[in-house]
Amino acid sequence: MNSRRSWVIFGIGVFAYLVAVTQRTTIGVAGVAATERFHSSASVLSTLAVVQLMVYAAMQIPVGVLIDRIGSRVLMAVGTALMVIGQVTVAFAPTIGIAIVGRILVGVGDATVFTSLMRLVNSWFRGRIVPQLSQWIGNIGQLGQVLSSIPFALLLHQAGWTVAFLSAASLSVVALVGILAAIADRPVGSTEGPRPATWADSMRQLRISLARPGTQLGFWSHFVTQSSGTVYSLMWGLPFMVYAIGIDPAEASGLLIVSVLAGLVSGPILGLLTARFPLRRSNLVLGIVGMMAVVWTVVLLWPGTPPDWLIIVLLVAIGVGGPGSLIGFDFARTFNPLHSLGSANGIVNVGGFLASFVMMFLIGVVLDLEDTTGAGPGSLYAFDHFRWAFAVQYVIIGAGVGFLLHARRRTRRRLKQDEGIDVAPLWVALVDAWRRRGDRTAQ
């Protein structure tokens, strides 16, 4: 555990995930180009990303079960190969239908990498470093968005659609070689226990994981924190900045990096806080959601066109949501045994992507409903149209917060029954801490 080989596997796995994020986010950067290439409406165009995320979300639980049954290495290799095929299909797609088939393959492949890597970390590492490594996986992986926002965007602008997507596919070829050469599922002599012997055992293990309140708390934590940033970076952020705000397309692509940098800064901090205050992780989640809600409200209610600095603040806020969503996997880790962690992580990872594709599609529908002129992208993506379209987030994420609070109550009740740990509300804990500090000062 925590050996030199552990770090080699971690490095190769993180590179594979970085490449997977690159493949996932290329369509967001190519949103304007896709509109011109396929001559599609906003709702049809959103299908490119929505279908990919639907497939990704739908695959998470099967992938989690397969991880516990056959291991991470095989799944990561197969998934990375599928991403190569998918991006090549998109590169040569003559119609929106063929491009959607390609993005489905990308979604299936992408679905295998992150959950497999999280399982590998828990097999090869032990101790308080695990939640910090989970944050670093998310943070380094999000650099894939930088690759899609700058090199890929430049290739798309200068060399065209086909060359750009073929270049992206080549990165997955490199990742595939690394996976086959170096990844192993567990150390020699591991005490994890045997894998499920039959599919019936796997399904029973899945049902037990799904029934645990801690797994459900992880699901809703992921649901409410990850989705806003995914919707923005993967689909609607670029059209919003280019047409509604009036930012140059190249500059807008570069601005997407701000959310990545925000995640890189906030991720390690959240990892330390998660390890230091394990009983207050849900408060971190709710604080992040509240921050994003405040910033979105200011942006959408701004009289006239919001200034560039406010858009940067928005990107920072939703960027923190990315590492915030990884707290959900820490709930899965602490409330599930290691032999069923793949299934639990798969359940959690459905959350944010389920919220994302629902919001992504509804935003496209609202934009089409608001655009009564049909005069082109400038009319379709008017700022007033985006005010109503982005307001969809309040409904979806608000519902998620309600379910999160319900799951938290059940989790704390179970924690008290099983371990005798009574978690008081945050305000009560803060008042008690203040009183104890006052008593020490008086002495």
How many other C-beta atoms are found inside a 10 Å radius of the C-beta of residue 145? 28
Mean pLDDT of 308-330: 93
344 or 34, greater pLDDT: 344
Full DSSP string of 108-135? HHHHHHHHHHHHHHHHH--STHHHHHHH
Q: Is the pLDDT of residue 198 over 60?
A: yes
- Between 30-39, 216-225, 233-242, 386-395, the lowest mean confidence (pLDDT) is in 30-39
pLDDT at residue number 42 = 66
Are the beta carbons of 131 and 105 closer than 8 angstroms?
no
Output the pLDDT for position 432.
Answer: 65
**Between these two residues, 319 and 249, which has the higher pLDDT value?**
319
Q: For the ranges 26-40, 162-176, 383-397, 426-440, which has the lowest average pLDDT?
A: 426-440
pLDDT above 90: percentage of residues in the chain: 39
Do 46 and 103 contact (CB within 8 A), yes or no? no
Under a CB-based contact definition with an 8 Å cutoff, are residues 179 and 71 in contact? Answer: no
- How many CB atoms are located within 10 Å of the residue 246 CB? 11
- Going along the chain from its start, the domains and CATH numbers come out as 7-185+198-434 (1.20.1250.20)
User: What is the predicted pLDDT for the residue at 387?
Assistant: 92
Q: What is the mean pLDDT of residues 288-312?
A: 94
Count the neighbouring beta carbons within 10 Å of the beta carbon of residue 37: 16
Contact 215, 335 (CB under 8 A): yes
How much is the pLDDT for 291? 96
Q: How far is CA 285 from CA 167, 224, 260, in A?
A: 37, 8, 18
Cα separation, 423 vs 170, in Å, equals 50
Read off the pLDDT of residues 361-405 as tens digits, 9 standing for 90 and up.
899 889 888 876 766 666 788 888 999 999 999 999 999 999 999
Tokens of 155: 């290739």
Q: What percent of the chain has pLDDT over 70?
A: 90
Which residue type is seen at 412?
Answer: R
For residue 54, the Cα-to-chain-centroid distance in whole angstroms is: 13
Helix (H) or strand (E) holding 426: helix 426-442
For 7, 214, 262, 280, the CA distances from 265, given in Å and listed in that order, are 22, 27, 5, 20
Handedness of CA 132, 393, 111, 406 (dihedral sign): positive
Q: Where are the alpha helices (DSSP H) in 277-391?
A: 281-301, 308-325, 327-335, 341-370, 377-380, 383-390
For the chain, the average pLDDT equals 86
**41 vs 328, higher pLDDT:** 328
Q: Rounded distance, CA 269 to CA 182, Å?
A: 30
DSSP annotation of 234 reads I
Tokens representing residue 120 in the block? 């590998």
* Cα end-to-end span (Å), the chain: 46
Q: Amino acid identity of 108?
A: V
pLDDT of residue 167: 93
Number of helical H runs and strand E runs in the chain = 21, 0
pLDDT at 117: 92
Q: What is the pLDDT of residues 66-119, one digit of tens each?
A: 988 888 999 999 999 999 999 999 999 888 889 889 989 998 999 899 889 988
Which pLDDT belongs to residue 375? 61
Give the pLDDT band (50/70/90) at residue 441: low
Model confidence over 125-184: pLDDT tens digits?
A: 887 788 888 888 888 887 887 788 788 888 888 888 899 999 999 999 999 999 999 999
